[in-house]
Structure 1
Amino acid sequence: MALMRWEPLREIDTLQREMNRLFESFTNDTSIEQTRGSFVPSAEMHETPDAIHLKLEVPGMEAKDIDIQASAEAVSISGERKSEMKTEEKGTTRTEFRYGKFRRVIPLPVRIQNTNVTADYKDGILTLTLPKAEEEKNKVVKVSLG
Protein backbone atom coordinates (compact mmCIF):
# COMPACT_ATOMS: atom_id res chain seq x y z
CA MET A 1 0.00 0.00 0.00
CA ALA A 2 1.45 3.34 -1.09
CA LEU A 3 1.31 6.38 1.11
CA MET A 4 -0.27 9.47 -0.41
CA ARG A 5 0.24 12.95 0.81
CA TRP A 6 -2.99 14.59 2.05
CA GLU A 7 -3.55 18.03 0.58
CA PRO A 8 -6.40 19.78 2.42
CA LEU A 9 -6.49 22.72 0.00
CA ARG A 10 -7.20 20.39 -2.90
CA GLU A 11 -10.08 18.87 -0.93
CA ILE A 12 -11.52 22.34 -0.25
CA ASP A 13 -11.20 23.29 -3.93
CA THR A 14 -13.04 20.13 -4.98
CA LEU A 15 -15.77 20.78 -2.42
CA GLN A 16 -16.18 24.38 -3.62
CA ARG A 17 -16.53 23.27 -7.26
CA GLU A 18 -19.18 20.74 -6.30
CA MET A 19 -21.09 23.35 -4.28
CA ASN A 20 -20.92 25.84 -7.18
CA ARG A 21 -22.25 23.20 -9.56
CA LEU A 22 -25.08 22.41 -7.13
CA PHE A 23 -26.10 26.07 -6.75
CA GLU A 24 -25.89 26.67 -10.51
CA SER A 25 -28.32 23.82 -11.08
CA PHE A 26 -30.81 25.49 -8.71
CA THR A 27 -30.46 28.99 -10.16
CA ASN A 28 -30.35 28.11 -13.85
CA ASP A 29 -33.58 29.59 -15.32
CA THR A 30 -33.97 26.93 -18.00
CA SER A 31 -33.73 24.07 -15.50
CA ILE A 32 -36.37 25.72 -13.28
CA GLU A 33 -38.69 26.22 -16.25
CA GLN A 34 -38.28 22.63 -17.37
CA THR A 35 -38.95 21.17 -13.94
CA ARG A 36 -41.90 23.31 -12.90
CA GLY A 37 -43.25 24.64 -16.19
CA SER A 38 -43.15 28.16 -14.80
CA PHE A 39 -40.69 30.95 -14.25
CA VAL A 40 -40.21 33.98 -12.04
CA PRO A 41 -39.35 37.19 -13.87
CA SER A 42 -36.63 39.38 -12.44
CA ALA A 43 -37.82 42.70 -11.01
CA GLU A 44 -36.26 46.03 -10.17
CA MET A 45 -37.93 48.74 -8.06
CA HIS A 46 -36.90 52.38 -7.83
CA GLU A 47 -38.64 54.96 -5.64
CA THR A 48 -38.77 58.69 -6.36
CA PRO A 49 -40.54 61.39 -4.32
CA ASP A 50 -43.64 61.14 -6.56
CA ALA A 51 -43.79 57.54 -7.74
CA ILE A 52 -42.48 54.00 -7.64
CA HIS A 53 -40.97 52.70 -10.86
CA LEU A 54 -41.08 48.95 -11.34
CA LYS A 55 -39.40 47.00 -14.14
CA LEU A 56 -39.93 43.33 -14.87
CA GLU A 57 -38.01 41.21 -17.32
CA VAL A 58 -40.52 39.13 -19.32
CA PRO A 59 -38.88 38.28 -22.66
CA GLY A 60 -40.63 36.25 -25.32
CA MET A 61 -44.10 37.50 -24.40
CA GLU A 62 -46.64 39.70 -26.08
CA ALA A 63 -48.35 42.54 -24.24
CA LYS A 64 -51.75 40.82 -24.60
CA ASP A 65 -50.43 37.84 -22.60
CA ILE A 66 -49.57 39.95 -19.52
CA ASP A 67 -52.15 40.76 -16.83
CA ILE A 68 -51.44 43.59 -14.39
CA GLN A 69 -53.56 44.32 -11.31
CA ALA A 70 -52.74 47.10 -8.86
CA SER A 71 -54.10 47.68 -5.39
CA ALA A 72 -53.06 50.49 -3.06
CA GLU A 73 -50.48 48.22 -1.35
CA ALA A 74 -49.30 45.74 -4.00
CA VAL A 75 -49.02 44.94 -7.69
CA SER A 76 -49.82 41.55 -9.19
CA ILE A 77 -48.36 40.64 -12.57
CA SER A 78 -49.15 37.37 -14.26
CA GLY A 79 -48.81 35.96 -17.73
CA GLU A 80 -47.97 33.06 -19.93
CA ARG A 81 -45.00 32.77 -22.24
CA LYS A 82 -45.33 30.81 -25.46
CA SER A 83 -42.31 30.98 -27.72
CA GLU A 84 -40.98 28.76 -30.44
CA MET A 85 -37.58 28.97 -32.08
CA LYS A 86 -37.01 27.12 -35.33
CA THR A 87 -33.70 26.86 -37.20
CA GLU A 88 -32.84 24.98 -40.35
CA GLU A 89 -29.27 24.06 -41.18
CA LYS A 90 -28.00 21.67 -43.85
CA GLY A 91 -31.33 19.90 -44.15
CA THR A 92 -31.76 19.55 -40.37
CA THR A 93 -34.58 21.34 -38.59
CA ARG A 94 -34.23 22.19 -34.90
CA THR A 95 -37.23 23.46 -32.95
CA GLU A 96 -37.26 24.62 -29.34
CA PHE A 97 -40.38 25.51 -27.38
CA ARG A 98 -40.43 27.58 -24.19
CA TYR A 99 -43.71 27.70 -22.36
CA GLY A 100 -44.36 28.86 -18.85
CA LYS A 101 -46.79 30.70 -16.63
CA PHE A 102 -45.87 33.11 -13.92
CA ARG A 103 -47.57 35.15 -11.23
CA ARG A 104 -45.71 37.59 -9.09
CA VAL A 105 -47.20 39.74 -6.34
CA ILE A 106 -44.92 42.59 -5.32
CA PRO A 107 -45.74 44.41 -2.07
CA LEU A 108 -45.13 48.14 -2.28
CA PRO A 109 -43.29 50.19 0.35
CA VAL A 110 -45.96 52.96 0.26
CA ARG A 111 -49.58 53.34 -0.79
CA ILE A 112 -50.15 54.25 -4.45
CA GLN A 113 -52.92 55.75 -6.54
CA ASN A 114 -53.87 52.50 -8.24
CA THR A 115 -56.23 54.26 -10.68
CA ASN A 116 -53.31 56.22 -12.22
CA VAL A 117 -50.84 53.40 -12.85
CA THR A 118 -49.24 53.42 -16.30
CA ALA A 119 -47.54 50.50 -18.05
CA ASP A 120 -45.21 50.20 -21.02
CA TYR A 121 -43.89 47.01 -22.62
CA LYS A 122 -40.92 47.17 -24.97
CA ASP A 123 -38.16 44.71 -25.90
CA GLY A 124 -39.18 42.22 -23.20
CA ILE A 125 -39.16 44.79 -20.38
CA LEU A 126 -42.40 45.71 -18.62
CA THR A 127 -42.16 49.15 -17.01
CA LEU A 128 -44.78 50.30 -14.50
CA THR A 129 -45.08 53.80 -13.09
CA LEU A 130 -46.99 53.74 -9.81
CA PRO A 131 -47.79 57.27 -8.57
CA LYS A 132 -47.76 57.63 -4.80
CA ALA A 133 -50.95 58.48 -2.95
CA GLU A 134 -51.14 62.16 -1.93
CA GLU A 135 -50.94 61.37 1.79
CA GLU A 136 -47.70 59.45 1.17
CA LYS A 137 -46.09 62.32 -0.75
CA ASN A 138 -46.70 64.81 2.06
CA LYS A 139 -46.00 62.42 4.89
CA VAL A 140 -43.58 63.89 7.43
CA VAL A 141 -42.57 61.85 10.43
CA LYS A 142 -41.13 63.51 13.53
CA VAL A 143 -38.09 61.72 14.81
CA SER A 144 -37.26 62.15 18.47
CA LEU A 145 -33.69 62.13 19.61
CA GLY A 146 -32.61 60.20 22.66
Structure 2
Amino acid sequence: MVLVRYNPWQELNALERHINGLFGDTRVPSARSEKGFIRVPAAELHETNDAIHLKLELPGLEAKDLDIQVTQDAVHISGERKSETKTQDNGITKSEFYYGKFQRVIPLSARVQNTNVTADYKDGILNLTLPKSEEEKNKVVKVNLEQPAA
Protein backbone atom coordinates (compact mmCIF):
# COMPACT_ATOMS: atom_id res chain seq x y z
CA MET A 1 0.00 0.00 0.00
CA VAL A 2 1.32 3.42 -1.02
CA LEU A 3 0.75 6.44 1.18
CA VAL A 4 0.06 9.72 -0.62
CA ARG A 5 0.33 13.00 1.22
CA TYR A 6 -2.95 14.95 1.04
CA ASN A 7 -2.62 18.60 0.05
CA PRO A 8 -5.88 20.55 0.46
CA TRP A 9 -4.40 23.58 -1.32
CA GLN A 10 -4.09 21.56 -4.51
CA GLU A 11 -7.88 21.19 -4.67
CA LEU A 12 -8.36 24.92 -4.08
CA ASN A 13 -5.89 25.70 -6.86
CA ALA A 14 -7.80 23.40 -9.22
CA LEU A 15 -11.08 25.10 -8.25
CA GLU A 16 -9.55 28.54 -8.85
CA ARG A 17 -8.32 27.48 -12.32
CA HIS A 18 -11.78 26.15 -13.14
CA ILE A 19 -13.53 29.36 -12.03
CA ASN A 20 -11.00 31.50 -13.92
CA GLY A 21 -11.72 29.42 -17.01
CA LEU A 22 -15.45 30.09 -16.68
CA PHE A 23 -15.02 33.81 -16.21
CA GLY A 24 -11.82 34.32 -18.16
CA ASP A 25 -13.37 36.59 -20.77
CA THR A 26 -14.59 39.34 -18.46
CA ARG A 27 -13.59 42.16 -20.80
CA VAL A 28 -16.88 41.84 -22.69
CA PRO A 29 -20.03 41.67 -20.57
CA SER A 30 -22.39 38.77 -21.04
CA ALA A 31 -26.09 38.29 -20.54
CA ARG A 32 -27.81 35.04 -19.67
CA SER A 33 -30.30 33.54 -22.10
CA GLU A 34 -31.94 30.16 -22.58
CA LYS A 35 -29.10 29.20 -24.96
CA GLY A 36 -26.34 30.09 -22.48
CA PHE A 37 -24.31 33.27 -22.41
CA ILE A 38 -24.46 35.85 -25.18
CA ARG A 39 -22.11 38.78 -25.43
CA VAL A 40 -23.39 42.32 -25.30
CA PRO A 41 -21.43 45.45 -26.17
CA ALA A 42 -19.37 47.06 -23.43
CA ALA A 43 -20.62 50.53 -22.45
CA GLU A 44 -19.23 53.62 -20.78
CA LEU A 45 -21.43 56.42 -19.38
CA HIS A 46 -20.23 59.93 -18.60
CA GLU A 47 -22.65 62.48 -17.18
CA THR A 48 -22.23 66.26 -17.30
CA ASN A 49 -24.58 69.04 -16.22
CA ASP A 50 -26.11 69.27 -19.71
CA ALA A 51 -25.94 65.75 -21.15
CA ILE A 52 -25.20 62.07 -20.74
CA HIS A 53 -22.49 60.72 -23.03
CA LEU A 54 -22.73 57.02 -23.85
CA LYS A 55 -19.90 55.18 -25.56
CA LEU A 56 -20.41 51.63 -26.85
CA GLU A 57 -17.83 49.22 -28.18
CA LEU A 58 -19.18 47.53 -31.34
CA PRO A 59 -16.19 46.22 -33.31
CA GLY A 60 -16.82 44.60 -36.64
CA LEU A 61 -20.34 45.98 -37.06
CA GLU A 62 -21.57 48.33 -39.71
CA ALA A 63 -24.03 51.12 -38.92
CA LYS A 64 -26.72 49.39 -40.99
CA ASP A 65 -26.56 46.36 -38.65
CA LEU A 66 -27.49 48.44 -35.58
CA ASP A 67 -30.89 49.47 -34.22
CA ILE A 68 -30.75 52.24 -31.60
CA GLN A 69 -33.84 53.50 -29.82
CA VAL A 70 -33.77 56.17 -27.12
CA THR A 71 -36.57 56.79 -24.65
CA GLN A 72 -36.52 59.50 -21.99
CA ASP A 73 -34.96 57.14 -19.44
CA ALA A 74 -33.17 54.35 -21.35
CA VAL A 75 -31.22 53.45 -24.48
CA HIS A 76 -32.13 50.23 -26.34
CA ILE A 77 -29.46 48.81 -28.64
CA SER A 78 -29.76 45.73 -30.77
CA GLY A 79 -27.87 44.40 -33.71
CA GLU A 80 -26.39 41.39 -35.37
CA ARG A 81 -22.84 40.40 -36.18
CA LYS A 82 -23.08 38.17 -39.21
CA SER A 83 -20.60 35.35 -39.62
CA GLU A 84 -18.33 35.27 -42.60
CA THR A 85 -18.30 31.98 -44.43
CA LYS A 86 -14.80 31.01 -45.44
CA THR A 87 -13.85 27.89 -47.28
CA GLN A 88 -10.54 26.32 -46.48
CA ASP A 89 -9.18 23.20 -48.07
CA ASN A 90 -6.91 22.16 -45.22
CA GLY A 91 -6.57 23.07 -41.57
CA ILE A 92 -8.76 23.81 -38.61
CA THR A 93 -10.20 27.18 -37.69
CA LYS A 94 -10.77 28.09 -34.05
CA SER A 95 -12.70 31.29 -33.53
CA GLU A 96 -13.38 33.28 -30.37
CA PHE A 97 -15.51 35.78 -32.27
CA TYR A 98 -19.17 36.00 -31.34
CA TYR A 99 -21.63 35.92 -34.19
CA GLY A 100 -25.33 36.44 -33.82
CA LYS A 101 -27.91 38.84 -32.47
CA PHE A 102 -27.49 40.89 -29.34
CA GLN A 103 -29.63 43.30 -27.41
CA ARG A 104 -28.90 45.62 -24.50
CA VAL A 105 -30.97 48.12 -22.53
CA ILE A 106 -29.01 50.79 -20.65
CA PRO A 107 -31.03 52.71 -18.04
CA LEU A 108 -30.19 56.39 -17.73
CA SER A 109 -29.73 58.25 -14.46
CA ALA A 110 -31.62 61.33 -15.70
CA ARG A 111 -34.40 62.04 -18.17
CA VAL A 112 -33.15 63.07 -21.60
CA GLN A 113 -34.55 64.85 -24.63
CA ASN A 114 -34.75 61.81 -26.86
CA THR A 115 -35.61 63.96 -29.90
CA ASN A 116 -32.22 65.77 -29.78
CA VAL A 117 -29.83 62.81 -29.54
CA THR A 118 -26.69 62.98 -31.68
CA ALA A 119 -24.68 59.92 -32.73
CA ASP A 120 -21.22 59.31 -34.11
CA TYR A 121 -20.02 55.86 -35.22
CA LYS A 122 -16.38 55.42 -36.16
CA ASP A 123 -13.91 52.52 -35.94
CA GLY A 124 -16.38 50.32 -34.05
CA ILE A 125 -17.08 52.91 -31.35
CA LEU A 126 -20.56 54.41 -31.07
CA ASN A 127 -20.79 57.75 -29.26
CA LEU A 128 -24.23 59.01 -28.27
CA THR A 129 -24.80 62.46 -26.79
CA LEU A 130 -28.07 62.49 -24.89
CA PRO A 131 -29.01 66.05 -23.84
CA LYS A 132 -30.79 66.24 -20.50
CA SER A 133 -34.33 67.57 -20.38
CA GLU A 134 -34.75 71.12 -19.10
CA GLU A 135 -36.38 69.88 -15.89
CA GLU A 136 -33.31 67.77 -15.11
CA LYS A 137 -30.83 70.55 -15.88
CA ASN A 138 -32.62 73.04 -13.65
CA LYS A 139 -33.34 70.62 -10.82
CA VAL A 140 -31.98 72.15 -7.63
CA VAL A 141 -32.85 70.76 -4.23
CA LYS A 142 -32.57 73.02 -1.20
CA VAL A 143 -31.51 71.33 2.00
CA ASN A 144 -32.65 72.96 5.25
CA LEU A 145 -30.47 72.48 8.27
CA GLU A 146 -32.26 72.98 11.50
CA GLN A 147 -30.36 74.23 14.50
CA PRO A 148 -30.64 71.93 17.50
CA ALA A 149 -32.83 73.27 20.30
CA ALA A 150 -30.78 74.57 23.21
Is TM-score (shorter-chain normalized) higher than 0.5?
yes
Q: Cα offset for 1:132?
A: 0.5
Q: Cα offset for 1:84?
A: 2.1
**2:142 is the alignment partner of 1:142:** yes
Q: Which amino acid aligns with 2:109?
A: P
Percent identity of paired positions between Structure 1 and Structure 2? 64
1:56-103 CA distance string (max 9 Å, x none): 111111111111111111111111112427597xx7587778631112
Partner of 1:46: 46
Partner of 1:78: 78
Q: Cα offset for 1:10?
A: 2.3
Partner of 1:9: 9
Question: How many residues end up aligned between the 2 structures?
Answer: 140
Q: Cα offset for 1:137?
A: 0.8
Q: 1:145 to 1:92 in 2, by over 3 A?
A: farther
Structure 2 length-normalised TM: 0.76
Structure 1 length-normalised TM: 0.78
List runs of 5+ in structure 2 lacking aligned partners.
none
1:1-24 CA distance string (max 9 Å, x none): 222222222232222122222333
Equivalent pair of 1:44/1:55 in contact (CA under 8 Å): yes
List runs of 5+ in structure 1 lacking aligned partners.
none
Q: 1:16 to 1:99 in 2, by over 3 A?
A: closer
Q: 1:19 to 1:129 in 2, by over 3 A?
A: same
Q: Which amino acid aligns with 1:12?
A: L
Q: 1:137 to 1:100 in 2, by over 3 A?
A: same
**Partners of 2:99 and 2:129 in 1: CA distance:** 28
Equivalent pair of 2:83/2:100 in contact (CA under 8 Å): no
Q: Cα offset for 1:36?
A: 5.8
Q: 1:84 to 1:94 in 2, by over 3 A?
A: farther
SS of the residue aligned with 2:82?
strand
Q: Which amino acid aligns with 1:50?
A: D
What root-mean-square deviation, in Å, do the aligned CA atoms of Structure 1 and Structure 2 show?
3.1
**Partners of 1:106 and 1:58 in 2: CA distance:** 15
**Partners of 1:85 and 1:36 in 2: CA distance:** 23
Range moving further from structure 2, 94-103 or 61-70: 94-103
1:76-131 CA distance string (max 9 Å, x none): 1111112427597xx75877786311121111100001111001111111110000
Equivalent pair of 1:71/1:114 in contact (CA under 8 Å): yes
